[in-house]
Amino acid sequence: MSNPGDQQAFDRCRQALFGASVLRSSLSPIILWGRARGAALTETPLTQFAPDVYAGLYAPLFMFAGTATVTFDEDEQLYKAVLPVGFRNRLPPGQFPYPFWHDKTKWSSYQATVALQFFIDPDSDLIKVAQFVPGAPSPTVLAEAMEAAASFDGHWLWTDGNGRTQPQVTLFDGLYRADNPHVAEIESRYRALALEMREAECDSCHVPGNPQKLKRLVLLQTPAHAAGEIRRILESVRNGDMPQDDTGIEKPLPPAVKQRLLARAEAFEAILTAARDWENRHAAE
């Protein structure tokens, strides 16, 4: 446990977890993440993440006490590992994957977290579901969360006073090496793709506010989130499964829009591959 605003401790933690960590290699190809609500998992809204997004951007927001209790959850038929944690609530805003304070309950619950619980599949030994378990938030935390939610301006990406895009963690800042020559282009190619996704109205569903109340939300609103889903974006658009209308029926895109969206998604995927390959080649240096 360290100070909840300790940037260096946070950086060491996310670099370790994003790298070849036991946590990362123990995550299912799609891990479900969200707040524990005392209900069955099938009844609980959760967000879908690729392992590197969860290991690099979410798990490191917690400080681990270093202990765990493991039981078998008869109802879920899954092992449940409970790890006492504290939440790093004093980091600068750009260190969170998106402004959790857009929602007062979400922000106060995150800050009051006492444990993470990992549900582990007994057959694969992989973590299928991870949840944060909130205790009771203090009146100060509650009041501050209410104020923050009221002043949230609706932007999932923003530019700070130095002209820098935020949240910087979603641009692989500190996860990829500073001299990786492909990182700058991840942002520009994401922005090009994001324009097409807006045209196709993907952001009417795939954003943290979850306007359609999806039970298994997929997030696409930052470079890191879209990077984690790029294969599924390509596949679902190619197949015509996405976008949908709000009754869940496929809503075909005009051919020109679909073609542009796919071209930009492919360009985004290509730069992600180049950046990752570069990291792998230079990992040993």
Out of 83, 149, 194, 200, the residue judged to bind ligand HEC by CB under 6 A: 200
In the complex, what is the shortest distance from the CB of residue 202 to ligand HEC, in angstroms, rounded to a whole number? Answer: 3
CB of 53 to ligand HEC, least distance (A): 13
Is residue 244 near ligand HEC by the rule CB under 6 A? Answer: yes
Instruction: Please count the residues of this chain forming the interface with ligand HEC, following the rule CB under 6 A.
Output: 23
> Could you tell me which stretch among 39-47, 89-97, 176-184, 228-236 binds ligand HEC (CB under 6 A)?
228-236
Which one among 103, 144, 173, 229 touches ligand HEC, defined by CB under 6 A? Answer: 229
- For residues 83 and 22, give the distance between their C-alpha atoms in angstroms, rounded to a whole number: 15
Residue 216 found at the interface with ligand HEC (CB under 6 A): yes
Closer residue to ligand HEC in complex, CB, 6/201 = 201
214 binds ligand HEC (CB under 6 A): yes
The pair of structure tokens assigned to 136 is 């009771």
Identify whether the C-beta of residue 210 lies closer than 8 Å to the C-beta of residue 45: yes
Interface with ligand HEC includes 233 (CB under 6 A)?
Answer: yes
Q: Is the peptide bond before 29 cis (omega within 30 degrees of 0)?
A: no
Q: Which long-range contacts (CB under 8 A, 24 or more apart) does 9-13 make?
A: 9/63, 9/88, 10/60, 10/61, 10/88, 10/91, 10/95, 11/174, 13/60, 13/63
* CB-nearer residue toward ligand HEC: 80 or 258: 258
Cβ proximity to ligand HEC: between 248 and 255 the closer is 248
In the set 83, 197, 207, 275, which binds ligand HEC (CB under 6 A)? 197
How many Å separate Cα 36 from the centre of its chain?
A: 17
Q: Which of 236, 262, 270, 274 binds ligand HEC (CB under 6 A)?
A: 236
Cβ-proximal residues to 118 (8 Å cutoff; 6+ apart), any chain = 80, 81, 83, 127, 129, 130
Nearest to 45 by CA among 203, 222, 227, 208: 208
Looking at the Cβ atoms of 213 and 281, the one nearer to ligand HEC is 213
Q: Which two tokens stand for residue 129?
A: 């579901």
* 227 lies in the binding site for ligand HEC (CB under 6 A): no
Q: What Rg do the C-alpha atoms of the chain give, in angstroms?
A: 19
201 near ligand HEC (CB under 6 A):
yes
- The CB-of-165 to ligand HEC minimum distance in angstroms stands at 21
Instruction: Single out the residue of 83, 205, 219, 275 in contact with ligand HEC (rule: CB under 6 A).
Output: 205
Told to check if 212 binds ligand HEC by CB under 6 A, we report: yes
Q: Is 109 exposed, middle or buried (0-12, 13-18, 19+ CB in 10 A)?
A: buried
The only residue of 169, 218, 219, 271 in contact with ligand HEC, by rule CB under 6 A: 218
Question: Quick one: 50 exposed, middle or buried, by C-beta within 10 A (0-12, 13-18, 19+)?
Answer: buried
Q: Which amino acid is at 54?
A: Y
What is the closest distance, in whole angstroms, from the C-beta atom of residue 220 to ligand HEC in the complex?
6
Distant-in-sequence, close-in-space partners of 74: CB < 8 Å, separation ≥ 6? none
Residue facing ligand HEC at closest CB distance = 202
Residues that bind ligand HEC (CB under 6 A): 197, 200-202, 204-206, 212, 214-216, 218, 229, 232-233, 236-237, 242-246, 248
